[in-house]
Structure 1
Amino acid sequence: MPRERAQALLIDLDGVLRRWDPAPMIAVEVAHGLKPAALLETSMTWDIYRPAMAGEISDAEWMDLVAQRLPIDIEEARAAVAEWQAYRGEPDPEVLAFVREVRAGGRKVGLATNATDRLRGDLDTLGLAGEVDEVISSWEIKAHKPAPEFFEKACELIGFPPSVVLFVDDDDRAVRGARSAGLSAYRWSGTQHLPYLRKALDLPA
């Protein structure tokens, strides 16, 4: 039996709506005597990344844990982390145009992201705060993708049952988690997917 047409879109932030240029981040690492991607790799260490995304510790506490693990003097490490965090990425203009198109077509859009307590400030900085109908932040709801509780709450906040919600993310685990929770889910790898997503949302070509 075919699925119903999607009535709402949940879209990931990092890697989909927000893109990152690695150059300024690597420049900070090199300037402080760290290997390229050292800060990113350290920040993604599961035992400190998970509590930051699950709303158990603040962004500032997470970043201090990162600094403590770097193989340089702690004061220099904290300076490196602060400089590294100053760059907040930028919206992908094609994806942002798509989000606007979805909303103009009468579909609700929710930003569904693993995030810290910095998220709201980032959205203001990036000019994205008013571009979606709902912001579903793992830090705020105390559940992170790919947990079923995340998707249950996301559908509740966007106001539609999972069967008519389309979820887009660049992370396989999140996509699989969404499908297990009953949503249609699509793994993002670039703007070549936009025509398919328009069709899935029954938008004009």
Structure 2
Amino acid sequence: MGPPPFAAVLVDFDGVLNLWDPDGMSALDRARGLPEGTLAGAAFEDGLLEAAVTGRLTDEEWRAQVAVALTATCGSADRARALVGEWSALSGRIDAELLDLLGALRVRVPVVLVSNATTRLESYLAAKGLADAFDAVFNTSRFGIAKPDPRVFAEAARLVGVPVERCLFVDDTRANVSAATEAGLTGHHYRGAAELRALVGPLLG
């Protein structure tokens, strides 16, 4: 029997293992009579989000700035902070099927979580019971670089001592998958646990 096809699996978090209600933020907008997309537009404004996921802003600072951006639209600073507070309390759903698959993979190869995340990621993982679910965690806000920067993939692979060309990278964002492929990894555009299970079958076998 030859070596396994991959020596490490690098996997994204939000949109892959952690699934958010697609209507969650819009529902908060509607409850306040705001146009749908108001909260998301403020929270995910490119420059502000990039500062949060590269660690130039802490999670708390990012959310505070989102509240400031929403103040005029909400009618007062208090209403804006209340909206951000309710958004911050939302929680995703962990895909149990994928979590089980990743656990099975860890018997054979290291599994690294690679997430464009804020400084809240570690506490969120702990709250979800996932603090020990990975062999390593690459939280971009702790390293100052974010996907699709190719340095992310090299640094994440280095955490478990595996060359990038021996890594499988799994993400639901095509641009990140393309960047990983260009960096020498095997990229997989995630569309469900069943498809990934078929891809990694030789590892499980």
| TM-score under structure 1 length normalisation | 0.91
Which contiguous aligned blocks of 4+ residues in structure 1 show a shift greater than 6 angstroms? none
Distance across 2 between alignment mates of 1:51 and 1:149: 17
Question: What is the aligned partner in structure 1 of residue 203 from structure 2?
Answer: 202
For residues 136-157 of structure 1, give each alpha carbon's deviation from its aligned partner in whole angstroms, at most 9, with x where no partner exists.
Answer: 0100111100001111110111
CA contact (8 A) 2:11 2:169 kept: yes
- Percent of counterpart pairs with the same letter? 35
Question: What is the aligned partner in structure 2 of residue 89 from structure 1?
Answer: 92
Distance across 1 between alignment mates of 2:9 and 2:190: 13
Counterpart amino acid of 1:133?
A: D
Gaps of 5+ in 2: none
Distance across 2 between alignment mates of 1:49 and 1:24: 18
The DSSP-based 3-state class of the residue aligned with 1:193 is helix
Distance across 2 between alignment mates of 1:83 and 1:169: 28
Gaps of 5+ in 1: none
How many residues are treated as equivalent by the alignment?
A: 200
After TM superposition, list the pairs within 5 Å mapping 1:22-101 onto structure 2: 22-70=22-70, 71-72=73-74, 73-101=76-104
CA contact (8 A) 1:32 1:76 kept: no
CA contact (8 A) 2:101 2:197 kept: no
Distance across 2 between alignment mates of 1:202 and 1:107: 8
The DSSP-based 3-state class of the residue aligned with 1:186 is strand
Distance across 2 between alignment mates of 1:61 and 1:116: 10
Distance across 2 between alignment mates of 1:193 and 1:180: 22
Deviation at 1:61, TM superposition (A): 1.3
The DSSP-based 3-state class of the residue aligned with 2:98 is helix
